[in-house]
Amino acid sequence: MELYFSIAFFILFALSLELLTKRKYAYNNLENSILPREYKHTRPQIAFFLVVMFVLWFLTAFRSSEIGNDTKNYIGYFNFFGTYGINSDSIIEIGYQIFNILVSKISSNPQAILIATATVCYIGLGIYVYKYSDNLVFSTVLLFPIVFSTFTNILRQSIAMVIILYAYQALKKNRIILSLVLIILASTFHTSTLIVILLLLYKIIPKKPIIILPLAVIFILLSITGFMDDVFSSILPFYAGYYENEGLTDGWIGMTYYCLRNLVFYLLVYFSYRSNTKNNSLVLSNFVLLLLATCFGFSLNIFNRASEYFLLISIVELPNAINRGRLPYKKMFIFLIGFIMVLYFIVTLIIRPDWNTLCPYKFFWN
């Protein structure tokens, strides 16, 4: 537990220093694109980003098989596919099977799949965050509570999530065909990726709170009453094991926190871009889908898993919205979001370590 306390203290301390440093920004005229040269990251920001990324990668790549609920299963998949090759009858998607086979050609040691997955995920995510985030420090702080547990538990979906980042960016550039190709590629690692196709409808997705908030309440009621369980289990029988599976859910407290967190994200982004909603339609749609998908998670846990795609995008888009928008008290929002998310992550480890089996941490050589 001391390890996680140290990381939490370090990143929050760095965030505090960054917020106390006076910097001149002029984001009002910027569109959703790469940050111009004059606003590029400073050397201390880059150093902080690289240190945190390296630490998280190292802890993910060289963890024991006991760290992460699904790690032992994925090691079993690696041994199987590395020995027998592609299995068309397996429930594991073909892309992830091929990935395992390729890694096994390099090394048959089961640790290789953990190292390879962590490397692909952190390099892909790191390039994306560095290239597209306006506030590198804030995005780096968000990485710890959002990414670390995910990348140590759901390996094939983690790879799919990173691919989706680039599909999303292609969509922002109106390269629809490329975006579709990347979404399909990601679906060969985890089928739940197909929910991201909804982003293609971003021009017609409602965005105003007067519509979204009642929808969120309705979706929560449909979820907690179990009304939608049979509907979705008949539509998506492949994921029947995800429905009302206590081993895969964070419970009512966790889901309530996620809904409130994503509601705050949506409102912050909406009011940041309230005078420029047309130009930021795709960004707002991402946070609308993040909130609404999470609302189904009280009983339909597959939607909580699916919301991870939109949540990963928020690591860049939330800081960008706050920095570029006209919200008052920006620094206060940034600190509170970072602090509360890191605090929840730590408290979860203390109260419910069985949720993600990250504590006590062990390296594979222990």
User: Domain for residue 171, yes or no?
Assistant: no
Residue 167 placed within a domain: no
366 residues of the chain, pLDDT tens digit each: 789 999 999 999 999 998 888 665 444 444 444 445 445 788 899 999 999 999 999 999 999 999 988 899 999 999 999 988 888 888 889 999 999 999 999 999 999 999 999 999 999 999 999 999 989 999 999 999 999 989 998 899 999 999 999 999 999 999 999 999 999 999 999 988 999 999 999 999 999 999 999 999 998 888 777 666 666 666 555 555 554 444 344 567 788 889 999 999 999 999 988 767 667 899 999 999 999 999 887 776 677 778 899 999 999 999 999 988 878 888 999 999 999 999 999 988 888 777 778 888 899 887
> Are 89 and 146 part of one and the same domain?
yes
In contact, 82 and 109? CB cutoff 8 Å: no
Same domain, yes or no: 344 and 253: no
- 321 and 348 both lie in a single domain: no
> Do 321 and 365 lie in a common domain?
no
Same domain, 210 and 312: yes
Instruction: Tell me if 284 is assigned to some domain.
Output: yes
Q: Same structural domain for residues 121 and 214?
A: no
The verdict on 323 and 337 lying in the same domain is no
CA distances from 350 to 46, 142, 144, 345, 361 (A): 31, 20, 16, 9, 13
Whether residues 91 and 113 fall in one domain: yes
Residue 226 lies in a domain: yes
Write the DSSP string, 104-165. Answer: HHH--STHHHHHHHHHHHHHHHHHHHHHH-S-HHHHHHHHHHHHHHHHTT-HHHHHHHHHHH
Number of domains present in the structure of the chain? 2
Q: Are residues 362 and 307 in the same domain?
A: no
Are 55 and 91 within one domain?
yes
Do 4 and 48 have their domain in common? yes
Q: Note whether residue 290 is domain-resident.
A: yes
| Inside any domain, residue 119 | yes
* Rg from Cα positions in the chain: 20
Domain-located, residue 161: no
Q: What is the pTM of this model?
A: 0.89
Q: Are residues 249 and 234 in the same domain?
A: yes
Residue 172: inside a domain: no
- The answer to whether 337 and 189 are in contact (CB under 8 A) is no
Give the domain extent around 209.
Answer: 202-327
